Structures are given as structure tokens and as C-alpha cells.
Structure 1
Amino acid sequence: MDLGSNFPAKLEPFLLMAKSVKGAAAAKLIQDATSAPGVFVFSELLELPNIQELAKNEQHEKFLSLLQLFSYKTYQDYVEHKDRLPPLNNAQMIKLKHLSIVSLAANRRILPYADLLRALDMPTIRELEDLIIDAIYLDILRGKLDQKEQQLEVEYTMGRDLEPGKLEEVLAALQNWAATTSAVLSTLDQKIHQISLATEAAKQAEQEHEKALQANLKEVFEKQKDKSLGGGMMNRRGMHMGLSDRDRDPMHMDVDEPPESSKSKNRKASQDTQSKTRKRNRF
């Protein structure tokens, strides 16, 4: 549920009563509405003709100013114009300080304790933190107390009523925000497009590199294959030619070499034979 989404319902009973009251009764109604628990938006009540008529009565005019204070002003405004406003009871004082935190958070997300102590006229940090914790429980704001850094980190807040004449200022701020957002989105689109192009180029380069690598590997493989096949054919051709020469020579026989001892015996026998022959020749 969004913060403050149930606040208009809390104002509804006062709207019904305001349609039939005037003068002092209308002033009393404003006191009751600004003191009532859970009532934090007042623009619908402020716009009612019965309430606007209080501006014409000097005695009741300050109650209209009180309602304007709770609609879109802050505790500092109360301090500066206290003499023109009715006195605040404790419930009204706490509620106005809660609403003042919302207004301060509209300008910056980090609120130092020192600034809050001064703006809300809080005597101690402990009381300030209790006030902030109550605002969180009441769905007035969401945030975190950073006691180490002595600051309130606001995440988001309820919306307050717009002060008359501020609508144009808000619209201008929204237009500036829209223009800034559009420029940021355009820049992001350009960056995304550039990244996409770079990614595609890198992918294509990788594919081309892989293709070239595979072609080189294939070429090396083919060369090695051709070299291997060529050497094998030459060896087989040489063996075939050797066998054919021996086959064509019918007288070719393989003769084993005699042993060394046989050669010696043969030479000795030959010498003996020759000696005997010479002797016979002498006779």
C-alpha cells in the first residue's frame, strides 16, 4: 500500500460536517481536524466555501490560516507567524513537525540531525529520533536512522497538499525531470547500440579467425598426408624392382660364404696336393 493512501478517508467525516457549519463551528471543526489522529491532508476541507468564508471574519480568520499551515506549510512558518495563529496543542505540534519532515525531505534525501534539530526545535537527539520513528509507524515516511552518521536517510514520503501558485513550479520541475530522463534514455540507447555493434563485430572476427585456423589446419594435414603417401609408394616401388631383377635371372642362386676354418683347411689341402704333384714330376 502507498504511503498516505488511507489519509483522505480519515478526512471524510470532517468534510461531511463542514458542509453544514459556519463561523465559530467551522473554526472548531478546523481545530478538531488538525488535532485528529491519522488526518494529514486537508486540501479538500480547505477548498469548501464554508471554510473559505472564515477569511471574511477577523475573529475566525486565524483558524483559516491554521488550516493553511497544516495543508502546505511547516513548523518554521508557525514560529515566524505565531502571533497570527491560534496556539497549538501537543497533538497539533507533533503533527506539524511530522509534516515538516515531509517538506524537508522533498528537497533532499539525506537529512542531518543537526538540520532537523534546528528546523523542528527539538531539544535532544533522542526526542528527534522518537519523533521520526512515530512518523514511520504512521506511514508518513519511509527511511532509516543512521546514528553513526547522525542523519535520516529518507526513502520516500507521503504527498502533501500544494500551496497555491506552486502548481506551475511543480509542472516546470516535472518537465525538467522528463527532459533529463529522456536525454538519459537516449544516451543509454546509443550506448546499447554501440555495445551491440561491438559485440557483433567481435563475434564476426572470432568466426573469421576460427575459419582461418581450420583452413590452415586442414592445409597442414593435407600436406602431411601427401608426404606420407609419397614415401610409402617409393619404398614399395623399390622393393618390387629388386624382386623382379632376381626373378628374371634363372641362374641366380644364393651361396652361403664358407666358414673361416673351412677356408683354412681348403688352402692347406691345396698346398699339399701341389707339393705331391711337384714330387712326382721330379721322378
Structure 2
Amino acid sequence: MNETNLSLSTSQKLQPFLLLSKSVKGVANSKLIMDALNAHGIYVFTELYEAPNVVQASTLPEVAPYYSLLELFMYGTFKDYQDNIAQFPTLTENQIKKLKHLSIATLSETSQTLSYDLLQTYLNIPTVRELEDLIIEAFYQGIFTGKLDQRQRQLQVMFSMGRDLRPQQLDETITALASWSVSTSRLLGSMDAKIASLQETVQLNGQARDQYQSKIDQLRLDIRANSNLKKMDLTMDESKKKGYSVEYGSPDYNERVKKSRGSKRFM
């Protein structure tokens, strides 16, 4: 079960208690709170905590400890309960199990790897078997997902449900999101500038490459032209040595010219 489905499920299961809160008055809110905390599948309690009749009854001495207990289930852990046990009503076995599940979810916010030793101490669980049974049940409830590493004696949390937010946590979240937004905008601006610089560099490199290739092509043409001129010069020099016409450079033509000149002398 993902977080969205879990939140929807727990919200739906809380609805009957919210409806009851509209008619329940005074001390009766104590039982309403205990029933909601004991109910299967309910893990968020802000709506009940803020219900008008519940808030009004919380000022009564008989209801105040139960209202504090409701707040503990919203934000606190099983260790908080143990450290201040005299201030709270006695929990049922099901409520203790639920609070321990929520405590693991809170611990996973700071570290996804939780050792068995830490969990056993924090949750006051004497045996590994009891701890693993508690964790496996939380897996089925969708409170968190992960895997048990019995060799390393640790729980690796992959996903954990979100708990009720404290009022100051909401302000902290808004501040953190605002800071993240500013940082993201700066990062995007920096990335855009780098991309533009890279594009300009690529364009300049392309132009330089084209100019380089053009110079190479021209150099090849010049080399070929010079080579042809040298060949022509060599041919002309060779023709002069052999008595060939420089203009025509043909042995047959020169031979015919000689014969023609000899014939004219005898005429």
C-alpha cells in the first residue's frame, strides 16, 4: 500500500469518529479518543484533534490526559510515552503496538537503516522474534516497507508513511520548500548559462573546423598546382636539351621541320 492509499484509507476509517465528535459532549470525548486510538488502520489523527467538541472538552481535567495522549499518537513515540507514563492513560495492547509502529516510522525519517539493538531498546522489546513479528505486521499494514536483514540484525526501510505534522513543522516545511525553490531556480539558471556557453563553443568550434578544412583544401590545390608547374618546367628543359620545339615539344614535328628546310636548300 503506497502513502496516498494509506492516507485515504486511514482518513476513511476516521470518518465515523469525526461524525460522532459532532454529537459527543464533555467527558464522553475521553472514550471517543480511546476508541479512535484503538481502531484498526487509523494512523493520522489531526482531524479528530481539531474537532470543535474535542477541543472544547480538552480543557476538562477528566479529558485533558486523553487529549494529550491523542497528541502523543500524532507526533510522539513509544519512548516519549514511557518517559512520561504517569501523565497518560493506560494503553491497550493494540494501542501499544500501533504506537510502536508509528515510532519506527519516525525513526526511519532520520535513518533508513535501523539496527535491532536500537529498536529493541527504543521500543522496549526483549526478544528479536517479538521485534520481527512487530515489523512484519507493520509491513502488512503498509505503515512502512523494507526488508529484514537477520544476518546484519537490522531493518532496511524503503518507504515509510508520513505522520501528522506539528504546527512548527508546517512552517519549517514551507521554509524548506521556499529555500529549495530558490536553490532550484539558481541551479537552473546556472545550467542554462552553461548550456548556452557550450552551444556557443560548439558553434565556434564548427566554424573553426570549417575554416581549417577550407585552408586544407586550398593548400592541397596549391600543392597540386605547384606540382603541375614543376612538371611543365622539367618537360620544357628536357625538350630544349633534345632540340625539341619548346612551343610544341614534339620530336616528329621537329624532324619534319628539318626535312622541310633541307628540301628548300636544293630548290
What is the match of residue 244 of structure 2?
none
SS of equivalent residue, structure 1 residue 87: coil
What is the match of residue 249 of structure 1?
262
What is the match of residue 7 of structure 2?
5
Q: Deviations over 1:151-183 (max 9, x none)?
A: 444444322212244433333333333333334
What is the match of residue 242 of structure 2?
none
What is the match of residue 65 of structure 2?
62
Within the candidate set 27, 31, 35, 1:32 is matched to 35
- Kindly provide the amino acid, as one letter, of the partner of residue 206 in structure 1: R
Spell out the pairing of 1:46-61 with structure 2 (5 A cutoff): 46-61=49-64
- Kindly provide the amino acid, as one letter, of the partner of residue 102 in structure 1: A
Confirm whether residue 122 of structure 1 aligns to residue 125 of structure 2: yes
Relative to structure 1, the CA distance from residue 64 to residue 133 in structure 2 (aligned partners, 3 Å threshold; closer, same or farther) is: same
Kept in 1, the 8 Å contact 2:27–2:60? The answer is no
How many angstroms does 1:2 deviate by? 4.0
How many angstroms does 1:105 deviate by? 2.8
Spell out the pairing of 1:70-219 with structure 2 (5 A cutoff): 70-145=73-148, 150-219=153-222
Paired with 1:21 and 1:133, the residues of 2 have a C-alpha distance of 36
How many angstroms does 1:129 deviate by? 4.1
Task: Return 5+ residue gaps in structure 2 as ranges.
Answer: 240-247
Paired with 1:204 and 1:247, the residues of 2 have a C-alpha distance of 64
Within the candidate set 242, 249, 266, 1:237 is matched to 249
State TM-score, norm by structure 1. 0.74
**Paired residues, number:** 252
Paired with 1:146 and 1:246, the residues of 2 have a C-alpha distance of 114
Paired with 2:68 and 2:262, the residues of 1 have a C-alpha distance of 139
Paired with 2:257 and 2:66, the residues of 1 have a C-alpha distance of 134
Relative to structure 1, the CA distance from residue 204 to residue 137 in structure 2 (aligned partners, 3 Å threshold; closer, same or farther) is: farther
- Kindly provide the amino acid, as one letter, of the partner of residue 39 in structure 2: A
State TM-score, norm by structure 2. 0.78
Q: Which moved more, 1:54-63 or 1:228-237?
A: 228-237
How many angstroms does 1:227 deviate by? 4.3
Q: Deviations over 1:238-265 (max 9, x none)?
A: 42323422343349xxxxxxxxxxxxxx
Q: Deviations over 1:84-137 (max 9, x none)?
A: 112222221221122122222333444444433332233344544443343333
Task: Return 5+ residue gaps in structure 1 as ranges.
Answer: 252-283
Q: Which moved more, 1:37-46 or 1:21-30?
A: 21-30
Paired with 1:146 and 1:191, the residues of 2 have a C-alpha distance of 45
- Kindly provide the amino acid, as one letter, of the partner of residue 65 in structure 1: S
SS of equivalent residue, structure 1 residue 56: coil
Q: Deviations over 1:58-100 (max 9, x none)?
A: 2232211121111121112111111111222222122112212
Paired with 1:115 and 1:144, the residues of 2 have a C-alpha distance of 16
Relative to structure 1, the CA distance from residue 76 to residue 197 in structure 2 (aligned partners, 3 Å threshold; closer, same or farther) is: farther
Paired with 1:149 and 1:245, the residues of 2 have a C-alpha distance of 112
Paired with 1:113 and 1:209, the residues of 2 have a C-alpha distance of 68
Relative to structure 1, the CA distance from residue 192 to residue 2 in structure 2 (aligned partners, 3 Å threshold; closer, same or farther) is: farther
